């Protein structure tokens, strides 16, 4: 062995390896990630439900997102212009700059109370329900109007109210005292209609099989004809029938 010959150590090889690794990273950075640094651009969608649209849009902008208006629908709990729902959901991970669709409130739905004065109790209920409203408290008052006819509503017709809302009714109890008509000798169906129009209630109906009158003819009544009775009183009848 020549004493003057130098033995080459690992230094040059180590330097060459480091230089090659640096060159490889440079190629990846230039051709695979031309934008420079490798970093995630995703952001978390904040919760903006319940906010006004302006506040929600500002909150999303701060998070690097944009706001788009979605559908509008009525709500009894969220003011007009408030955010009812959002897509994507709060907490979702999305790309920075993505848009979030916001469904907005139109506020409470309002309707005008329909006119129900002069209708029967049942007719008034159907009319109110068709308008999205409900029958509230029903009170009675003596009146010359037919028994059961609506005298007034509260709120009155034409008033704007939220849907659904109750509408209170005052209905006629008929005149304070009504003269009981004479229905003896009348057909039972006709007698029933007449008594009902005057505000009377048909009570017990019995059949007299010994009567010579045609079937279903009123044989007797109680209270008797021409007596005074309060509207809503019960009238009992006996009608003819065959054994």
Residue 191's pLDDT is 97
Residue 18 falls inside a structural domain: no
Listed in sequence order, the residues at least 6 apart from 17 whose beta carbon sits closer than 8 Å to its beta carbon are none
Residue 97 falls inside a structural domain: yes
CA distance 176 to 141: 9
Residue 177's pLDDT is 82
Q: Would the pLDDT of 6 be above 50?
A: no
Mean pLDDT of all residues in 151-166: 96
Is the CB of residue 126 less than 8 Å from the CB of residue 107?
no
Reduce the DSSP state of residue 57 to 3 states and report it: helix
Residues 62 and 117 placed together within one structural domain of the fold: no
Q: Return the CATH number at 215.
A: 3.30.10.20
- Locate the DSSP E strands across the chain: 42-44, 66-73, 83-87, 93-95, 99-105, 110-112, 134-141, 150-154, 160-162, 166-172, 178-179, 201-208, 218-222, 228-229, 234-240
Residue 99 falls inside a structural domain: yes
Residues 160 and 193 placed together within one structural domain of the fold: no
Q: Would the pLDDT of 213 be above 60?
A: yes
Residues 77 and 132 placed together within one structural domain of the fold: no
**What are the contacts of 54-61 at 24+ separation with CB within 8 A?**
56/83, 56/86, 56/102, 60/100
Residues 121 and 163 placed together within one structural domain of the fold: yes
> 11-20, 46-55, 208-217: which range is least confident on average?
11-20
- Share the mean pLDDT of the chain: 87
Residue 9 falls inside a structural domain: no
Residues 58 and 88 placed together within one structural domain of the fold: yes
Residues 166 and 189 placed together within one structural domain of the fold: no
Number of domains in the chain: 3
Selected residue with higher pLDDT from 175 and 121: 121
Look up tokens 């709060």; give the residue. Answer: 90
Final residue before a domain boundary, out of 120, 142, 172: 172
Residue 27's pLDDT is 46
Domain ranges, residue 63: 42-105
Residue 217 falls inside a structural domain: yes
Reduce the DSSP state of residue 118 to 3 states and report it: coil
CA distance 63 to 96: 8
Final residue before a domain boundary, out of 172, 187, 218: 172
Q: How confident is the model at residue 20 (pLDDT cuts 50, 70, 90)?
A: low
Final residue before a domain boundary, out of 105, 122, 146: 105
Residues 61 and 101 placed together within one structural domain of the fold: yes
Residue 16 falls inside a structural domain: no
């Amino acid at each position: 062995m020549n004493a003057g010959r130098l033995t080459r150590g690992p230094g040059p090889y180590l330097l060459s390896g480091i230089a090659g690794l640096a060159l490889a990273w440079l190629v990846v950075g230039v051709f695979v990630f031309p934008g420079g640094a490798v970093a995630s651009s995703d952001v978390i969608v904040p919760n903006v439900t319940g906010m006004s649209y302006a506040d929600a849009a500002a909150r999303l902008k701060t998070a690097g997102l944009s706001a788009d208006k979605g559908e509008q629908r009525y709500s009894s709990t969220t003011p007009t212009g408030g955010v009812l729902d959002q897509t994507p959901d709060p907490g979702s991970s999305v790309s920075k700059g993505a848009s979030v669709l916001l469904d907005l409130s139109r506020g409470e739905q309002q309707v005008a109370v329909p006119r129900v004065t002069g209708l029967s109790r049942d007719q008034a209920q159907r009319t109110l329900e068709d308008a999205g409203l409900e029958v509230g408290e029903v009170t009675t008052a003596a009146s010359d109007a037919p028994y059961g006819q609506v005298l007034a509503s509260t709120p009155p017709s034409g008033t704007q109210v939220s849907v659904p809302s109750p509408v209170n009714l005052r209905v006629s109890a008929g005149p304070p005292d009504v003269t009981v008509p004479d229905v003896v000798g009348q057909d039972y169906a006709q007698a029933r209609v007449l008594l009902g129009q005057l505000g009377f209630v048909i009570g017990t109906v019995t059949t007299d099989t010994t009567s010579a009158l045609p079937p279903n003819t009123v044989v007797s009544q109680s209270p008797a004809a021409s007596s005074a009775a309060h509207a809503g009183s019960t009238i009992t009848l006996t009608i003819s029938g065959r054994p």
